[in-house]
Structure 1
Amino acid sequence: MQLQNTKVYVGLVGDQTIAQPGDTTKYFLNKAGAEAERIFVDGCTGDTKNLFAQSGLQSYVQHAIQGGTSALFLSGTGIARMGDYDRKSFMSDLCQAINQSMSQYDPDMSMTYAFIGVTDSKVVDFHRDRTVTADRLAHGLGGLQHEVEDWDMVEEKVLQGATLPFVLSLHFESLRDMPTNGHLCVVDMNI
């Protein structure tokens, strides 16, 4: 039973002490503080060479485009971290899935996006190629969202990649038949 219209998938590389790929418990324990908090997810994998196909991420993209919320969290540690090739391959597959799903569901869909790199003290807005202070995130990514006029241009920016940990947040809105408002968020810790 799904209580929320949200899907979360986690890709782990290297140290997997917080979860095991394929683990059926479907949650992680976050022990920051006195009490442990359960973070529920729909799936987990450590196969970065075939991350998109391995995890069925096409369904996560479709879920967001059709009005749901999907989140993808990628993390790695130490020498086993996700290589640039794997990351670029994953992002290329993701962009193709977005393009394909949008054209099948509603070619006239409107979209906004934020693509930012994050450090301890600042945020890099990759859309405008400028740095802003980290306090801009105090109320979420709303102030960093940009209207998408041309998906190909956004795809080109995304495929350039990032050397910083990044967040790619996409909002999809369709007014066809029954209006929908979906969200896809990719968080890549790049560590």
Structure 2
Amino acid sequence: MARGRSRSLFTALLLLLPLAAIAGWLLHGIVNPVPLPADPATRAAGPAPGKPSPWPGLPDPQADLTPERLHERVDGAEDYLRAQGCVRLLAWDLADPKGTLEILLFSSPEGAGRVLAHDVGPKRTDGPGDEASSDPQSVLFRRGRAYVRLIADPDATTDPARLIAEAGRVDRAILDGLGRGR
């Protein structure tokens, strides 16, 4: 009888061991969850904390849009921008100077130049980049295949020299970023 009872306990132990292992595995997963892969909206927010910004001198963009998502930022102009070769739009809401910054990346410098010409006509002024146009409320310029729109908030008082200085900082970030294949 003692032998039969030992065999029953041994069999029960063998059956409980895998169940205990599964329970331990589940408990470990609850206590230490594995992070899920980032969804597209999370990836659009920029690199993970602690990683350097892909645009030296600029914070991570608040919007990083593919051609399919341009409508989220440029309502009505997305078809035109895609036709000119727009492959990415990065956007920031700025506090100083108060306004918005958009960097549109094109497949070629010619596409960026056509959009600049479309927005401002033939008028060019001194400014950053390969060609630029500015007024007291905005600085628009092209650097290579990047087209930049820096537009002051119309309700805020903005020093035009401050706007030009910020555009110069953005231009340097573009030179560094595009030089690394961004």
TM-score (norm 2): 0.28
Q: Give the strand-richer structure, 1 or 2.
A: 1
TM-score (norm 1): 0.27
Larger Rg belongs to: 2
Q: Which has the higher helix share?
A: 2
The higher relative CO (CA closer than 8 Å, separation ≥ 6) is in 1
